[in-house]
Amino acid sequence: MSRIDIRINGFWNAEIESAREVYKGILSNLSLGGAFLRGEFPKTEEFFILRWKKGERKYKFKVKTIRKEEEGIGVIFLFQNGSDIRKLWSFIREELKEGTFSTCPYCGKELESLLLRRCPRCKLLLSFNDRSYLNLHLKDTLPERLRIYLNATEEKEEELYVDILSHVEKVFFEPLKDDEPFEELIGSSEKMLEVFSIIRKVAPVDVPVLIQGETGTGKELVARAIHQRSPRSKKNFVVINCAAIPESLLEAELFGYERGAFTGAYYSRKGKIEEAHGGTLFLDEIGEMPLTLQAKLLRFIEDKVVERIGSRNPKMIDCRIIAATNRDLEKEIKEGRFREDLYYRLSVITINLPPLRERGKDKLLLAQYILKKLQREKIVSQKRLSPEAIQAIMEYHWPGNVREMINKIRKALLVSESDAITPEDLSLNSGSLKPLKKGLKEEKLKVEKEALLFALETSGYNISRTAKLLGISRPTVYSLIKRFGLNPLLTPHKS
């Protein structure tokens, strides 16, 4: 006897679903590698869905026939993801009667002690209740599994083997680029499907777009998605954050300047609008733009002409405008802080991004994606979300939206001491899982202001340190300071 997976003896009523019909049979000789199904099954079909249950727990796996006998068929499991194999191993482990093996369940060697961690002959693990067993066992047996598959495969062209090696290299040695954005917009909730639909419709049409949503919902990503699907995709996508640049410099950044136009202008420089010629200009935090500059931006949108500061030579510029804000611009208009005519020019198409708390099961889908991406990016050990962590993710209201989720999962990967991430690793303890109430917006503003004041005082009113403490960007810190009417410059910096 020689096998690479432990086999459990037992019989379970099972169903096999083919493309045409459902068949009943008896499941036996179960292991991670496969099983034997007793009964009468079609001889012409190879792929099935195998189902069985134990108590209230239901099991469902895709299988492939590898052996046909008079009594039934032998199958192997075709795992769709890591969750599948963990679920099967959980069932097998529960059925094991550990401590009763007098011989190795892999190679048959007589065991001198029931406390051995590995078999002295085949060197495979015997500590089936260890939490790390599945991970270590799959690592130990991977070369043998690959050899079995290759031996069972008919001789193919060398392209097959090159494809296999290329896939292995991609999985292990090709981390995602550091500047690749997270795909925060993945999801299947009704609100996100509506966003996707608008993006597809508006991308080819050369009109201004206004994106509205809370901080951290992925407004820039939406803007990039529109640009990448537009006829301007091969040209520049230029970003300017209106909240990150002091009012006195914002005009120069946006429109450019000539040498000698003002003190410190030692050379001529293009503005962001000129840089975006032929492409797309993304005006982030447009609600923070001062009224005087709003008037000049409106003139550009209407005339498509730019004059650098200190220049008398107007230039025709062709670029698409996409703007974003986390403010209620209609309210800003009523209170005299935003021009109504500019608003109507920018909001030809409006996209409202839902906050993460309103995206239902997308929260879990997104968390799984971020976890997988971060693990590949940093090439860290594989971890999964525990059932308790999944529940906490679904219950938490995520005031910081996707950006907060990324930060929490990144931290959890660093602090987690097991292969299962817990709510504590994510800093999602019971105290943070408060149910949503009416008046959430007012409560959120109050909490944000208190958190900002605390971070400013703790960091000695240093903006970079404040941003780090809060897990947000420096431009967002400036935006919050302005929103709450704070002025950290009035307080001396501490060393």
What are the pLDDT digits (tens) for 480-494?
A: 888 887 764 444 444
482 compared with 287, residue with greater pLDDT? 287
pLDDT average, residue stretch 35-52: 86
Residue 53 falls inside a structural domain: yes
131 compared with 179, residue with greater pLDDT? 131
- 325 and 402 in a single domain? The answer is no
- 218 and 281 in a single domain? The answer is yes
Residue with tokens 């892999």: 106
268 compared with 149, residue with greater pLDDT? 268
CA-CA distance, 458 to 450, in Å (whole number)?
A: 12
- 251 and 340 in a single domain? The answer is yes
Q: What residues pair up with 75 in beta bridges, in sequence order?
A: 35, 65
Here the CATH number for the domain that contains residue 418 is: 1.10.8.60
- With left for phi above 0 and alpha for psi between -120 and 50, is residue 276 left, alpha or beta? alpha
Residue 234 falls inside a structural domain: yes
Among 178-187, 217-226, 308-317, name the one with the lowest average pLDDT.
178-187
- 367 and 308 in a single domain? The answer is no
pLDDT average, residue stretch 167-188: 52
- 347 and 360 in a single domain? The answer is no
Confidence of residue 437 (pLDDT cuts 50, 70, 90): very low
pLDDT of residue 9: 84
- 216 and 336 in a single domain? The answer is yes
- 455 and 427 in a single domain? The answer is no
- 396 and 343 in a single domain? The answer is no
Residue 444 falls inside a structural domain: yes
351 compared with 365, residue with greater pLDDT? 351
Residue 338 falls inside a structural domain: yes
- 242 and 123 in a single domain? The answer is no
Q: What angle do CA 289, 295, 299 make, to 5 degrees?
A: 125
CA-CA distance, 300 to 457, in Å (whole number)?
A: 41
Residue 181 falls inside a structural domain: no
pLDDT of residue 98: 53
Between the alpha carbon of residue 65 and those of residues 19, 315, 443, the distances in Å are: 14, 70, 59
Residue among 324, 323, 393 at smallest CA distance from 359: 393
**Residue 399 CB partners (closer than 8 Å, separation 6+):** 444, 447, 448
Confidence of residue 162 (pLDDT cuts 50, 70, 90): low
pLDDT of residue 163: 62
pLDDT of residue 433: 54
CA-CA distance, 441 to 187, in Å (whole number)?
A: 24
* Winning range, highest mean pLDDT, from 13-17, 246-250, 414-418: 13-17
pTM, entire model: 0.53
What would the two tokens of residue 71 be? 């009594």
- Give the total number of structural domains in the chain: 4
What would the two tokens of residue 381 be? 């050990």
382 compared with 124, residue with greater pLDDT? 124
pLDDT of residue 398: 94
DSSP-derived secondary structure for 43-110: SS--EEEEEEEETTEEEEEEEEEEEE-SSEEEEEE--SSHHHHHHHHHHHHHH--TT--SB-TTT-PB
Residue 250 falls inside a structural domain: yes
223 compared with 82, residue with greater pLDDT? 223
Here the CATH number for the domain that contains residue 81 is: 2.40.10.220
* Winning range, highest mean pLDDT, from 96-100, 277-281, 398-402, 473-477: 277-281
163 compared with 396, residue with greater pLDDT? 396
- With left for phi above 0 and alpha for psi between -120 and 50, is residue 216 left, alpha or beta? left
Here the CATH number for the domain that contains residue 244 is: 3.40.50.300
- 317 and 247 in a single domain? The answer is yes
What would the two tokens of residue 49 be? 């869905």
Which of the listed residues 382, 401, 432 is the one where a domain comes to its end? 432
pLDDT of residue 166: 56
Q: Does the structure show a pLDDT above 70 at 176?
A: no
CB distance 396 to 354 below 8 Å: no
DSSP-assigned letter for residue 5: S
- 399 and 478 in a single domain? The answer is no
Calculate helix-pair angle for 133-152, 82-95, nearest 10 degrees: 110
CA-CA distance, 300 to 279, in Å (whole number)?
A: 15
Cα 214 to the chain's mean position, in Å?
18
* Winning range, highest mean pLDDT, from 83-92, 105-114, 135-144, 273-282: 273-282
Q: Does the structure show a pLDDT above 60 at 38?
A: yes
Beta strands in 242-363 (DSSP E): 280-284, 305-306, 315-316, 320-325, 349-352
pLDDT average, residue stretch 467-488: 75
CA-CA distance, 72 to 209, in Å (whole number)?
A: 62
Among 14-23, 230-239, 458-467, name the one with the lowest average pLDDT.
458-467
Predicted confidence (pLDDT) per residue in 220-246, tens digit: 999 999 999 999 999 999 999 999 888
Q: Does the structure show a pLDDT above 60 at 435?
A: no
Q: Does the structure show a pLDDT above 60 at 184?
A: no
Mean pLDDT (the chain) is 83
Predicted confidence (pLDDT) per residue in 114-146, tens digit: 677 888 889 898 888 888 889 899 988 988 888
Range of the domain at 140: 12-149
pLDDT of residue 66: 87
What would the two tokens of residue 363 be? 């929260």
CA-CA distance, 289 to 251, in Å (whole number)?
A: 10
- 135 and 86 in a single domain? The answer is yes
Which of the listed residues 352, 367, 384 is the one where a domain comes to its end? 352
CA-CA distance, 112 to 328, in Å (whole number)?
A: 74
* Winning range, highest mean pLDDT, from 19-23, 104-108, 253-257: 253-257
Of all residues in the chain, the percent with pLDDT exceeding 70 is: 83
pLDDT of residue 303: 93
What would the two tokens of residue 450 be? 């208190």
Residue 3 falls inside a structural domain: no
Residue type, 443: E
pLDDT average, residue stretch 81-109: 82
Which of the listed residues 149, 170, 188 is the one where a domain comes to its end? 149
- Four-residue CA torsion sign, 479, 480, 486, 491: negative
CA-CA distance, 351 to 225, in Å (whole number)?
A: 13
Residue type, 111: L
CA-CA distance, 23 to 42, in Å (whole number)?
A: 9
CB distance 219 to 211 below 8 Å: yes
* Winning range, highest mean pLDDT, from 35-44, 163-172, 327-336, 445-454: 327-336
Residue 1 falls inside a structural domain: no
pLDDT of residue 175: 40
Number of H helices, E strands in the chain: 16, 15
**Residue 80 CB partners (closer than 8 Å, separation 6+):** 62
pLDDT of residue 182: 43
CA-based R_g, the chain, Å = 30
* Winning range, highest mean pLDDT, from 112-126, 345-359, 466-480: 345-359
